[in-house]
């Protein structure tokens, strides 16, 4: 697939996934414009030849040179390149875009807000977790009952500089004897936080299973972001082929509600 074809597929998927979050986005050249001054930019993932990696940047104030852009990358599986890209954008929308929509909306519909004593001066906006693989209910249940971000606070604090926003992505899973734990802070791997994540007692089974989470850390702003109001989107049932969504309510307890709604 040529770069321009990949871009068209990714942008189309972004429009579709943002609509699931109650947001009206439309393609405008190299970006996908949203309500108010928000937009999503796409950049080519280096070395991705026929893979399902996407690099997406959520722009908070389009047109401002000093505007923060929250970049994140995601990967998707599928039989075709288009299917891989679509699943990657869906993964990004579930875990990351939901946080950015909540940041601009502020009603607690798409993600949860928390102020952790372990991270003084920082406000956390945490979206649903995407848990996928074999036997994912055990890992989902563990995430529902544990406060992961505060457990990593000591390792994260030295890397939190400036005013933010700071994007923190967590990826954990694998299987017993072959697990993976990675924490990225603004796209860069944090070795200390990754080691702290690996040391937690999340379940390792005999078959492969992973979880992906995204948290945005912000500091107090003098005024709210100038964006248009959005309507709450109706929940979309999760199909078997789509990663199970685990929405954080306090200790990730919303995952049970999502499971009941999908039955």
Instruction: Spell out the domains of the chain, with CATH numbers in brackets.
Output: 1-109 (no CATH), 111-222 (3.30.500)
Per-chain mean pLDDT for the chain: 83
Q: Which residue has the tokens 């996928």?
A: 132
Q: What is the pLDDT of residues 65-115, one digit of tens each?
A: 888 899 999 999 899 999 999 999 999 999 999 999 998 888 888 999 999
Kindly indicate the confidence band of residue 221, based on its pLDDT and cuts at 50, 70 and 90: low
The encoded tokens of residue 189 equal 């791997």
pLDDT of 125 > 60? The answer is yes
Where is average pLDDT lowest: 46-50, 144-148, 207-211?
46-50
Cα separation of 214 and 263, whole Å?
Answer: 26
Average pLDDT over residues 252-258: 37
Average pLDDT over residues 168-181: 92
Average pLDDT over residues 121-147: 90
**Alpha-carbon distances, residue 105 vs 25, 36, 37, 228, 245 (angstroms):** 15, 11, 13, 9, 20
pLDDT of 252 > 70? The answer is no
């Amino acid at each position: 697939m040529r770069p321009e074809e990949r871009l068209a597929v990714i942008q189309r998927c972004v429009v579709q996934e943002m609509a699931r979050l109650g947001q009206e986005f439309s393609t405008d050249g190299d970006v996908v414009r949203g309500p108010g001054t928000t937009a999503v930019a796409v950049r080519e993932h280096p070395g991705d030849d026929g893979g399902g990696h996407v690099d997406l940047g959520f722009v908070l104030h389009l047109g401002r040179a000093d505007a923060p852009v929250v970049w994140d990358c995601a990967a998707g599986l599928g039989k075709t390149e288009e299917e891989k890209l679509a699943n990657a954008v869906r993964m990004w929308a579930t875990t990351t875009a939901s946080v950015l929509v909540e940041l601009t909306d502020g009603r607690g519909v798409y993600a949860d807000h928390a102020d952790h004593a372990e991270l003084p001066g920082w406000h956390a906006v945490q979206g649903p977790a995407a848990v996928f693989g074999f036997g994912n209910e055990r890992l989902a249940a563990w995430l529902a009952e544990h406060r992961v971000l505060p457990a990593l606070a000591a390792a994260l604090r030295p890397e939190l500089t400036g005013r933010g926003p700071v994007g923190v992505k967590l990826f954990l899973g694998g299987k017993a004897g072959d697990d993976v734990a990675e924490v990225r802070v603004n796209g860069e791997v944090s070795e200390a936080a990754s080691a702290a994540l690996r040391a937690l007692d999340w379940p390792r089974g005999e078959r492969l299973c992973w979880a992906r989470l995204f948290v945005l850390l912000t500091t107090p702003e003098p005024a709210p972001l100038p964006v248009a109001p959005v309507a709450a989107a109706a929940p979309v049932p999760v199909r078997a082929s789509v990663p199970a969504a685990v929405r954080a309510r306090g200790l990730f307890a919303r995952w049970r509600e999502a499971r009941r709604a999908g039955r």
